[in-house]
Amino acid sequence: MIQEIIKHQIAAALKHLYQIEVIDNQIVVENTKPEFEGDFTYVVFSILKQSKKGPEQTAQEIGEYLKTNFSQLASFNVIKGFLNLSINNQFWFEFLNNAYNNKDFGFTFAHSGQKILVEYSSPNTNKPLHLGHIRNNLLGYSVAQILKANGHQVYTCNLVNDRGIHICKSMYAWMQFGNGETPESAGLKGDHLVGKYYVIFDKYYKQEIEGLIAEGLTKEEAEKKAPSIMAAQQLLQKWEANDEETVNIWKTMNGWVYQGFDVTYKKLGVQFDKFYYESNTYILGKDIVQQGLTSGAFFKKDDGSVWIDLTADGLDQKLLLRGDGTSVYITQDIGTAELKYKDFDCERSVYVVGNEQDYHFKVLQLICKRLHKPFADGIYHLSYGMVELPHGKMKSREGTVVDADDLIDEMIATATETTKALGKTDGIPEAELQHLFETIGMGALKYYLLKVDPKKKMMFNPEESIDFQGNTGPFIQYTHARIKSILRNAGSIDYTNFDFSKTNITEPERKLVFAIYQYPQAIADAGKDMSPGIICNYAYDLAKAFNHFYHECSVLKEENESQRNFRIQLVNLTAHILKSSFGLLGINVPEKM
């Protein structure tokens, strides 16, 4: 990267001019602000004590030194204490030729030496996937792709929550009111059918509570003594005792859900290297807890329960095993973490889970550190904010969630209507239109959910997401389609036969070249922060730079052959990078639109 060369040259300048000893990575070089001339900027205020001169004079002296000793510098200008540097055209020509001949431009394929496991999705088998799950799945998939692009060896897994009282609630409602209903007989996806009975249970349970309260029980007593909840608890006990009839119903209903999940995962374009199931992992960790008790990492209370004291870490005491010897959720997670480490031998394990579990993952990592587990330091919680709707939070048991499948269908329908209304389907065969509408609808959904920093909660607005202007997926997709149209009209060109050294680079061209140059850094930053939003914003900036260039510069009608071919090369590279960057987000781009 040219920034590293600039830092080295500035370090040499500081030593020569002011006898300041500084290593390259301590020097900060930023992109020049759009309102100023230049490519990169160095701010001199931090060295004024050593230079013993004003900011303008200091910046001027450094600039003059660089102009003499840095062959790739074309010019510089000083604005107060800001030294703005413009790199010469020859550097950009060489960069463009190298980028054009590298189909994987921006990616790092030298293996970093790190193996990373990304766990995401983690659905419950008592309901279909909803809007919140969509954000989780899209984040997990995209982060995995970005980490791969940074040279890491990446695996993905899905821990399915397929047991527990919430599962038994759906089972009980189906047994009581289902009359043998199946996905086939109901005409519903399996996960939708099971979710239907989860909602039915909640409504029936609330009616029972109201009736018991009317009979004189307190609300707390009624919630515990309602026949439906007691029946669900009995089902859980039967399941844990491996009762054949109960287990068969559980397997049947979970099977329906898995078939439904598979359809939704395919629509979202996500996949996993391995599935873990809580029904197989919930007993894991108990032996590890006993080992921790023996080593003194944990302690036992009078009732026989096992705890860890985390007060020295600013937390509290945490239960690990109940007095009757049964495990709690953190116990399972300790065991599953060790199982994943044995399966994949990964130094880092990324958990894509909502921010309501921040405390849980702090506890998990501290426990694993107390146990001296080799994977403890690599535990990383990719915490993300919830997705909210204009009318409030979603609640599965009340049936107020935005179902993932319904939302996907709605997005495609809206994309169809919007695209037709804007006249962007002219000349496209009917057979290709449905694929186009799906591409736009899913692109709008994915981009809108991914462009927001994962740590922030967000409000989802479907109408705003499908807009062909502004920071949206369809705007960038349309830019790509426009570029492909230009390239079809340009025909095939072999750029290796052209010498661009005498080509003049105009201001719009320079901004587009500079935007292209930022792609590797955007991938590196997105990998470091595990934030697909960085790639979204990069793609948006690149699309804006292209549209400015296209508005200001003629491409196919340019009379100067060298200038025309240079511009076509820029157009081609832009298309490639837009497609590549959207690939990291799991978004397709259309060839025509």
Angle at 260 between CA 254 and CA 261, to 5 degrees: 85
The answer to whether the beta carbons of residues 126 and 95 sit under 8 Å apart is no
At 497, the pLDDT band (50, 70, 90 cuts) reads low
- Contacts of residue 60, defined as CB under 8 A and 6 or more positions apart, other chains included, come to 78
> Can you tell me the distance from the alpha carbon of 228 to that of 460, in angstroms, rounded to the nearest whole number?
35
Q: Which two tokens stand for residue 373?
A: 């587990």
Q: Are 520 and 106 in contact (CB under 8 A)?
A: yes
pLDDT at 463: 78
Query: Sheet containing 299-300: which strands, arranged edge to edge?
Result: 299-300, 306-309, 317-321
pLDDT digits (tens, 9 = 90+) for 314-349: 999 999 999 988 888 899 999 999 999 999 999 999
- Measured CA to CA in angstroms, residue 371 lies from 328, 334, 377 at distances of 18, 10, 12
Tens of pLDDT, residue by residue over 4-50, are 999 999 999 999 999 999 999 999 999 999 889 999 999 999 999 99
* Residue ranges covered by each domain of the chain: 2-87, 164-257, 298-326, 406-584
CATH number of 2-87: 3.30.1360.70
3-state SS of 338-358 is: HHHHHHHCCCEEEEEEEHHHH
Q: Which tokens sit at 378?
A: 């690599």
Q: What is the residue-averaged pLDDT of the chain?
A: 92
The two tokens of residue 398 are: 């009340």
Could you say which DSSP state residue 144 is in? H
By C-alpha distance, which of 432, 414, 439, 429 is closest to 579? 439
Q: How confident is residue 396, by pLDDT bands cut at 50, 70 and 90?
A: very low
Q: Which two three-digit tokens encode residue 154?
A: 């990446």
Confidence of residue 102 (pLDDT cuts 50, 70, 90): confident
Structure tokens at 188: 């519903």
Is residue 447 within 8 Å of 439, Cβ to Cβ?
no
How far, in whole angstroms, is CA 86 from its chain's centroid? Answer: 34
How far, in Å, CA of 540 to CA of 518, rounded? 12
The model's pTM is 0.92
Query: What is residue 82's predicted lDDT score, i.e. its pLDDT?
Result: 96
CATH class name, domain 406-584: mainly alpha
DSSP annotation of 377: G
Higher pLDDT: 462 or 468? It is 468
Beta bridge partners of 83: 42, 78
Indicate the DSSP class of residue 373. -
pLDDT, position 400: 54
Q: Long-range contacts made by residues 356-365, C-beta under 8 angstroms, separation at least 24?
A: 356/386, 357/381, 357/383, 358/383, 359/315, 360/329, 360/330, 360/333, 362/315, 363/310, 363/315, 363/318, 363/330, 364/330, 364/333, 364/334, 364/337
Q: Is residue 181 classed as helix, strand or coil in its secondary structure?
A: coil
pLDDT score of 438: 95
H helical segments located in 241-357: 244-268, 278-281, 286-295, 329-344
Nearest-CA neighbor of 570 among 489, 530, 522, 511? 511
What's the full length of the chain, in residues?
593
Among candidate residues 138, 124, 173, 63, the one with its CA nearest the CA of residue 449: 138
Percent of the chain residues topping a pLDDT of 70: 96
